[in-house]
Chain A
Amino acid sequence: MNKAPIAIAIHGGAGVLTPGLLPPQDEDAIHEALRHAIDAGHQVLEAGGSSLDAVESCVVALEECPWFNAGKGAVFTEDGTHEMDAAIMNGADRSAGAIAGAHYIRNPIRGARVVLEHSDHVMLAGEGADRFLLEQDQPQVANDWFDTELRRRQWQDNRSGHKAPSLEPSHANHHGGETGGSEKPGHKFG
């Protein structure tokens, strides 16, 4: 008897990622991080778990990895802080939860899941989202816990107007000269 099909895919951002820009050891580290993240969700599915639990497991693993622009390793705002957005949706009943501009929840995707399961709403934003997630006893961290040296350097480069090639998620040229061209080597969207 054939097993019911399962399927899974993940992403960690897209952009003008140029072969050779990253040192080989960094590429290896990113491949390993992707493997670790998809394994987390795949194990859930292989054990008969739900797709909702599987996608949450994958995204938590990616949020915990400083290589990606989510959770630990999130980019800086102009003010030097971090604002996190996340959403999760269940295809079985189209229930959904999302947060925008959250500051303190360690794993934003878990915050989105809490909105899905424990609120009457689909999206909570800013200080209200922070307050709701605190009331829901979600693990909190100081906002600077999300800092990494790579992101701080990119933030500083952007503030000083120097646009050195990097793997940063950055402004694209939507606002004309505000942010520099999006086709430069290494440009990556958040």
Chain B
Amino acid sequence: TVGAVALDSHGHVASATSTGGITNKRFSRVGDTPLIGAGTWADDRSAAISATGHGEYFIRAVVGHDIAARMRFAGRDLATACDEVVHQELKALGGQGGVIAVSPDGDTRLSFNTPGMYRAWRDDEGQLHTAIY
């Protein structure tokens, strides 16, 4: 699975996610990637989120929307909302994986509960970084 989140200079966020699914899948299985609110979500009132992981759990936890709802209704900041969902809600179900997220004020969060995630991001000083583990 691959994904991207961004904030543009007009203050708008967006999210995109794409996948081939899981190896040797059957029965036209579909994971969280194309399910709006689960693997992909964007709302200028909270954040843009793209997920990767064991899709069945991300669907049940409605990961993207849950992160956004915590920010909008409970006043969480982006990092706290992402970490609560990935390390608590998702983990409690047994789900593994992670999310990338940006908020309209420019915060960026990469949160995952597995030992690694292929990822890249732009820091506060404009530098681009890549990491695997």
Q: Are B17 and A87 in contact (CB under 8 A)?
A: yes
> Could you give, for residues 10-34 of chain B, a 1 whenever the CB lies within 8 Å of some chain A CB and a 0 otherwise?
1111111111111111101011011
Give Cα A11–Cα B100 distance, bound, in whole angstroms. 7
Give Cα A105–Cα B16 distance, bound, in whole angstroms. 16
Give Cα A83–Cα B119 distance, bound, in whole angstroms. 24
B64 vs chain A, min Cβ distance (A): 9
Tell me the count of chain A residues lying within 8 A, CB to CB, of chain B.
92
B35 within 8 A of A: yes
A177 vs chain B, min Cβ distance (A): 14
A72 vs chain B, min Cβ distance (A): 10
A-B pair count, CB < 8 Å, reads: 349
A133 within 8 A of B: no
Q: Are B14 and A98 in contact (CB under 8 A)?
A: no
Chain B's closest residue to A125 (CB) is B30
Q: Are A94 and B116 in contact (CB under 8 A)?
A: no
A144 within 8 A of B: no
B71 within 8 A of A: no
Known: A42-B128, A55-B4, A55-B6. A89 touches B14 (CB 8 A): yes
A114 within 8 A of B: no
B63 vs chain A, min Cβ distance (A): 12
Give Cα A161–Cα B84 distance, bound, in whole angstroms. 36
Known: A38-B120, A58-B4, A190-B1. A83 touches B14 (CB 8 A): no
A158 within 8 A of B: yes
Q: Are A90 and B4 in contact (CB under 8 A)?
A: no
- For B2, B47, B50, B116, which residue has the most chain A Cβ atoms within 10 angstroms? B2
A183 vs chain B, min Cβ distance (A): 9
Give chain B's interface residue range (CB within 8 Å of chain A): 35 or more
Q: Are B1 and A30 in contact (CB under 8 A)?
A: no
Q: Which of B1, B34, B105, B130 contacts A69 (CB 8 A)?
A: B1
Chain B's closest residue to A94 (CB) is B43
Q: Are B36 and A87 in contact (CB under 8 A)?
A: yes
Chain B's closest residue to A47 (CB) is B9
B30 vs chain A, min Cβ distance (A): 5
B18 vs chain A, min Cβ distance (A): 4
A142 within 8 A of B: no
Known: A17-B114, A54-B8. A70 touches B20 (CB 8 A): yes
Give Cα A20–Cα B53 distance, bound, in whole angstroms. 22
Chain A's closest residue to B21 (CB) is A190
Q: Are B41 and A89 in contact (CB under 8 A)?
A: yes
Give Cα A10–Cα B2 distance, bound, in whole angstroms. 7
> Could you give, for residues 94-133 of chain B, a 1 whenever the CB lies within 8 Å of some chain A CB and a 0 otherwise?
0011101110111110101011111111100000101011
From 68 to 104 in chain B, residues with beta carbon under 8 angstroms from any chain A beta carbon are 96-98, 100-102, 104
Q: Are A108 and B18 in contact (CB under 8 A)?
A: yes
Q: Are B34 and A112 in contact (CB under 8 A)?
A: yes
Q: Are A31 and B130 in contact (CB under 8 A)?
A: yes
Interface residues of B, Cβ cutoff 8 Å to A: 1-26, 28, 30-31, 33-36, 39-44, 47-48, 50, 52-57, 96-98, 100-102, 104-108, 110, 112, 114-122, 128, 130, 132-133
